[in-house]
Structure 1
Amino acid sequence: MTCLQHQQHAFTDFHPLDREGLCVFSRRNMLKASFAGLGGLSLPGLQQLRAAASQAGQPMGQKSVILLWMTGGPSHIDTWDPKPERPLNNRGPFKTIKTKVPGISICEHLPKQAAMMDRFTLIRSVDPSISSHQPNQVMQTGHRDAAPRTKSNGHMFPAIGSIIARHRDNGRLDIPHYVTFPKHDSHVAWGGYLGKKYDPFDGNKAAELPQYDLLGKPLGKTSKANLFDLAAGLNHERLLDRHTLRQDLDCLQRRLDQNSSLSALDAYQQQAYDLVLGGRAKQAFDLSEEPEATRERYGDHLWCQQALLARRLVEAGVSFVTLDLSYHTASGTWDNHGIPGGVYGGISKGLKPLLPLFDHLHTTLVSDLEDRGLLDDTLVIAMGEFGRTPKMGTQNSEDGRDHWPVVMSMSLAGGGFRHGQVIGASTNDGSEIAERPVTPGDLAATIYHHMDVPLDTQYLDHQGRPRYAVQENGKPLSELI
């Protein structure tokens, strides 16, 4: 089904005489804030809030997805697919623990997830072939050709989050559908063939968050999060004069370089306008709105605070949120090569410190969603680009593991699915898929099924040719449904 769109009145569901959210006082400063504050007019991320049209007759639901992106590719053997009977060089340095579900064991450094395993599904037979990083595309798009390192058009295949944003767009402009918290642009997938308007909203620019250096050391300061702040002097009534605002924006546009990233500027004028006046997005990104007990429950680490923001965002109506769990801007903190003198750390020094932190934020997020009655409508996915080599000691390391785009594991929770199970299996040494291969197309189809996106959804590439959102004859995982 091709996603068709139609224009809607820009002030649908908008109450212009009610002062709520941000109050603005000067059109001139609003224009200046377009770059430093608003950003929806030219700032990457905010300018792609939503398209100004909605799909004809498409109902809106409250279902959502939170992707915990373990940037760099976590070792499957040292997390969710342990091999305790194998030699040390294969099994790794960690012990295993039993979980709440009989017969399922996982890494000893994931005790909280073990205690809640009835709420999770582990997939141990994911096929990540072709997947790489910098950029990280295949697993976030569900498309094998989304590999810019080997395909000239690899960067053009839209993110699953972008497909959902296009499908779910109902013309409401005060909250974005697809939000990411990227450490680097290459860590997340973008709108591609769908156009800039379906690129993700950069959540880091909208929330006050703790800052860390590239090695994960706290810097003792927070980001300023001034995306929604407008300079004093704006006049509320003049801002409501849409005609005058349009004239000023047209003047601004003529002074801009008319490259592809700004070609849709007109389409975002009303979006940015409604975003500022509505105040809904600003409230969702404001962690000070949370009770202190909830903030303490999550913890003050950057990733934990982003997990809390993810919950707030889906609660406010965001459809897809991706957390980029990485400190450094290169290939990712989970890229545990263990190269001597490098920043990638091996299994003991690199992966081990990450697991208790991840275990806490992962289980806290799932528990919080459940406590608030949101878990059945929210699918929580944890994964990276690929698995890692069955044997340790690659690249002259003591216990590092190299990339292994042959088999990987991932974790699912929520979404109203059946959980407390393991899908698929790898071989005894974790080197290959032994049974029930799960492709990126299957993963995409499962997510679209959850989000009520038709599996025959198509979009057009730059040559006008239709392309299917679901590839490789992907099918929703029957074990979950």
Structure 2
Amino acid sequence: MSVHQHTPDHAFASMRPRELEGVTVLGRRSMLKASLAGLSGLSLPGLLQAKEQAVTGGKSSPRQKSVILVWMTGGPSHIDTWDMKPAAPIEVRGPFSPISTALPGVQICEYLPLQAAMLNKMTLIRSVDCRFSNHEPNMVMQTANLDAEPRTNREAEKFPALASIIARERLESNPDLPPYVVLNMKSRSHVAWGGYLGHAYDPFQGKDVGSLFSLPRGLTTERLHSRSQLTSDLDRLRRDLDLSGSMEATNRFTQQAVSMVTGASARDAFDISKEPESVRLKYGDHEWCQQAMLARRLVESGVSFVTIDLSNHGASGTWDTHGDNIPPYGGIWNGLRPLLPVFDRLITTLVGDLEERGLLDDVLVLAMGEFGRTPKIGTQGSSDGRDHWPIVSSITVAGGGFRHGQVIGATERDAGQILERPVTPGDLAATIFHHMGVPLDISYLDNRGRPRFVIDQGKPIAELCG
């Protein structure tokens, strides 16, 4: 299947042209009026308007909660990382050896020593049911909808990301920052989007840390404001036909969006050069680790959901380790082995940094991908790769004020099937919503006006939420 991929040249390019959207989000406990995003065509103005509606409507502002999703694009091998089977035959267990961890009796990969030492502050889930999940686009695990598989369902890309739902509900977050941010996005197909909710709830995105707030050649801050003023002038010509005053409101939110992109508050949050040298040295200079440091800055500033696209290329993802003879993926030894020390430093430094700042209870950190990999090594004619395995995967969870220092679930002796305690995408979504204070029965209308529940089946993971 051919997938259209497009990465904007700069952050302001994510503000899309005018499109008629008009979607209402419904919940049994609440109903929010649709934003003017369909009229404005600008994602940030739509979000700013929605925030003001919440304030004027008397919506309370609980303590700021956030999620950082470390998205291991391509599907990390569970059997070579967090669910090793050292007693299995070599063609199953692979080339890596297990090491002990801070949890007695629990072992993980030898290339994750930092996480092994910190595992008493984390949770491993070894029984995630990823059936129906695929990648390019990566939709099922990021939407909790089993029908969100574009290769089999042409409506799949319309299902909104969990992050987009949270952006719609968590209106008390910092108005100077977008609620849903994707960092290091190598391809549009790596993340889920606003879908039925409209472009107002697409992620705010950038190609890299340094260029996120760079304007394209020839476009200055003054010209940006000038273009915004031109929009205002054109709208004024039609204002006499707009008895509701929506065009006037749209213009005001557009001005706020321009101020956010060019203003000091957002620039400060995205500027990692403001970090002390000691912190930057702790994270290291690898691009992925720099993104993790930026993610911490963003949630600290009030962003509700940050996804880090943990990939180096724009195909199906760097963790898609099919084999050395199937470029650009590589196999387990040459492809996966170099990734693990970088990931190990990233996840432990991020969790440790959040803890030191007193943020760990308010920030839920998840590291996961689309699925696991085949129990037997050497698939697809390779000698060292593993193919997709949506039957089961493993993930790491930290923070969120949850109960950690445990392993949830288990697989059979070859790590091919779930042995006990299956955890579904709906369960993960319910756990995320529980942390964020979003109603578990939230729904939205599709383009036929039919209500769709985000969590059709699933509940918060009891072992975590207690």
TM over 0.5: yes
Give the match for residue 199 of structure 1: 202
Q: Deviations over 1:189-220 (max 9, x none)?
A: 00111111000000436x31xxxxxxxxxxxx
Structure 1 residue 184 corresponds to structure 2 residue 187: yes
Matched-pair contact (CA < 8 Å) for 1:76–1:387: yes
Give the match for residue 459 of structure 2: 475
Change (3 A) 1:426 1:57: farther
Give the match for residue 458 of structure 1: 443
Matched-pair contact (CA < 8 Å) for 1:133–1:385: yes
Partners of 1:249 and 1:477 lie apart in 2 by 51
Partners of 2:394 and 2:371 lie apart in 1 by 8
Matched-pair contact (CA < 8 Å) for 1:51–1:198: no
Change (3 A) 1:354 1:277: closer
The alpha carbon displacement at 1:399 in A equals 1.4
Match of 1:234 among 191, 202, 222: 222
Give the match for residue 321 of structure 1: 306
Partners of 2:220 and 2:156 lie apart in 1 by 44
The alpha carbon displacement at 1:274 in A equals 3.6
Matched-pair contact (CA < 8 Å) for 2:48–2:257: no
Q: Which amino acid aligns with 2:60?
A: P
Change (3 A) 1:67 1:229: farther
Partners of 2:92 and 2:153 lie apart in 1 by 33
Partners of 2:348 and 2:176 lie apart in 1 by 30
Partners of 1:266 and 1:426 lie apart in 2 by 55
Change (3 A) 1:397 1:232: closer
Matched-pair contact (CA < 8 Å) for 2:221–2:262: no
Match of 1:5 among 27, 32, 52: 32
The alpha carbon displacement at 1:48 in A equals 6.8
Give the match for residue 31 of structure 1: none
Q: Which amino acid aligns with 1:204?
A: K
Query: What TM-score do you get using the length of structure 2 for normalisation?
Result: 0.84
Matched-pair contact (CA < 8 Å) for 2:145–2:425: yes
Change (3 A) 1:47 1:135: farther
Structure 1 residue 441 corresponds to structure 2 residue 426: yes
SS of corresponding position for 2:192? coil
Matched-pair contact (CA < 8 Å) for 1:117–1:420: yes
Unpaired stretches in structure 2, ≥5 consecutive residues: 1-26, 239-248
Structure 1 residue 169 corresponds to structure 2 residue 171: yes
Partners of 1:346 and 1:47 lie apart in 2 by 45
SS of corresponding position for 1:376? coil
Match of 2:152 among 135, 150, 153: 150
Change (3 A) 1:341 1:361: same
Q: Deviations over 1:395-446 (max 9, x none)?
A: 1111100000100000000000000000011111101111111000000000
Q: Deviations over 1:352-410 (max 9, x none)?
A: 00000000011000000000010010000000000000000001111100000100000
Q: How does 1:4-23 map to 2 (within 5 A)?
A: 4-5=31-32
RMSD: 2.9
> Is the deviation greater in 267-276 or in 112-121?
267-276
The alpha carbon displacement at 1:246 in A equals 5.1
Partners of 1:153 and 1:266 lie apart in 2 by 32
Give the match for residue 88 of structure 1: 90
Partners of 1:433 and 1:330 lie apart in 2 by 29
Partners of 1:74 and 1:171 lie apart in 2 by 32
Q: Which amino acid aligns with 1:234?
A: E
Matched-pair contact (CA < 8 Å) for 1:173–1:274: no
Change (3 A) 1:366 1:233: closer
Structure 1 residue 59 corresponds to structure 2 residue 60: yes
SS of corresponding position for 1:366? helix
Partners of 2:284 and 2:205 lie apart in 1 by 22
Query: What TM-score do you get using the length of structure 1 for normalisation?
Result: 0.81
Match of 2:81 among 79, 82, 97: 79
SS of corresponding position for 2:87? coil
Q: Which amino acid aligns with 2:463?
A: E
SS of corresponding position for 1:86? coil
SS of corresponding position for 2:165? helix
Partners of 1:408 and 1:355 lie apart in 2 by 16
SS of corresponding position for 1:471? coil
Structure 1 residue 296 corresponds to structure 2 residue 296: no
Matched-pair contact (CA < 8 Å) for 1:49–1:200: no
The alpha carbon displacement at 1:231 in A equals 5.8
Change (3 A) 1:287 1:307: same
Partners of 2:380 and 2:283 lie apart in 1 by 37
Change (3 A) 1:246 1:389: same
Partners of 1:344 and 1:47 lie apart in 2 by 39
Give the match for residue 68 of structure 1: 70
Length, aligned pairs only: 420
The alpha carbon displacement at 1:341 in A equals 5.0
Matched-pair contact (CA < 8 Å) for 1:386–1:407: yes
Matched-pair contact (CA < 8 Å) for 1:204–1:225: no
Change (3 A) 1:289 1:228: farther
Q: Which amino acid aligns with 1:93?
A: P
Change (3 A) 1:310 1:224: closer
Matched-pair contact (CA < 8 Å) for 1:118–1:421: yes
Give the match for residue 127 of structure 1: 129
SS of corresponding position for 1:395? coil
Q: Deviations over 1:214-253 (max 9, x none)?
A: xxxxxxxxx47404999668399x98xx9x6653464999
Partners of 1:403 and 1:233 lie apart in 2 by 46
Q: How does 1:64-463 map to 2 (within 5 A)?
A: 64-170=66-172, 173-181=175-183, 182-204=185-207, 207-208=209-210, 223=211, 225-227=213-215, 234=222, 247-248=232-233, 250=235, 269-276=254-261, 278-340=263-325, 342-463=327-448
Matched-pair contact (CA < 8 Å) for 2:173–2:303: no
Partners of 1:267 and 1:476 lie apart in 2 by 40
Partners of 2:126 and 2:298 lie apart in 1 by 30
Matched-pair contact (CA < 8 Å) for 1:58–1:168: no
Percent of aligned positions with the same letter in both sequences? Answer: 59
Partners of 1:382 and 1:480 lie apart in 2 by 15
> Is the deviation greater in 273-282 or in 46-55?
46-55
